[in-house]
Chain A
């Protein structure tokens, strides 16, 4: 089982739609959670951290469910510029080293 699992997609949605991605992680000791965004052939960039109580940043809302070990990202009012791959990222807890585990990403394509 992968440490971080995501549906690869692609999710094809029209402009203005609401879309949600889920991600599951296997290490129950993980403490830090993030969503990164990666444009085609570019480097990953932090989209937002995910806090236990859930958090919002403009059109983006992230939720964490520790009991079920999943993280979600909701994008409202999708824009063409949201087209990208969204990476779910979890810290490697319990290994004594500072490292992150990246999911393989969910691809979003927003259509005009």
Chain B
């Protein structure tokens, strides 16, 4: 199993350009997440999905859109990139669990994005 994969690994954009980050998982996980990680701030949740065809906002959703057309894929879009979106983006997935949230999130290797 490849686990969670992300493409691209690195990208440089100019302000105003658009791009899509792709996350794929082969573990048949129900839940998928997009985070950004900035120095000194920890990972912050951008959007997440609890199943195919459903998405929801996290704590920092502005400037991003997502889609989950297939269970194994979760796409993160930047319609008009801004320098403030320079960050490392991590995708994660997890099983759906019952009761207390004792679920493990499996992370992809990350995408480093630089917006000039």
Contact surface of A with B, Cβ cutoff 8 Å: 4, 8, 31-32, 34, 41-46, 49, 87, 91, 97-105
**A32 B100 Cβ-Cβ under 8 A:** yes
Give min CB distance, A72 to chain B, whole Å.
18
B residues in contact with A105, CB < 8 Å: 42
Q: Which of B27-63 touch A at CB < 8 Å?
A: 31, 33, 35, 40-45, 48, 50, 56, 58-59
Chain B positions 62 through 106: 1 when the CB is less than 8 Å from some CB of chain A, otherwise 0? 000000000000000000000000000010001000001111110
**B42 A103 Cβ-Cβ under 8 A:** yes
**B90 A43 Cβ-Cβ under 8 A:** yes
Besides A102-B35, A104-B42, 11 new A-B residue pairs in contact (Cβ under 8 A), listed by A number: A31-B100, A32-B102, A42-B110, A43-B107, A49-B104, A87-B42, A87-B43, A99-B58, A99-B59, A102-B44, A103-B42
* A46 to B103 Cα, complex, angstroms: 10
Q: Which 4 A-B pairs have the closest CB atoms?
A: A43-B107, A104-B42, A102-B43, A102-B42
* A53 to B94 Cα, complex, angstroms: 25
Option from A87, A91, A102, A104 in Cβ contact (under 8 Å) with B101: A91
Give min CB distance, B11 to chain A, whole Å.
16
Interface centre among A41, A46, A99 (most CB of B within 10 A): A99
B residues in contact with A8, CB < 8 Å: 40
* A28 to B21 Cα, complex, angstroms: 35
Contact surface of B with A, Cβ cutoff 8 Å: 31, 33, 35, 40-45, 48, 50, 56, 58-59, 90, 94, 100-105, 107-110
* A46 to B109 Cα, complex, angstroms: 14
| Least CB separation from B109: chain A residue | A43
**B42 A100 Cβ-Cβ under 8 A:** no
B residues in contact with A104, CB < 8 Å: 40-42
Q: A98-B50, A104-B40 are in contact. Are A49 and B45 (CB under 8 A)?
A: no
| Least CB separation from A95: chain B residue | B59
Give min CB distance, A32 to chain B, whole Å.
4
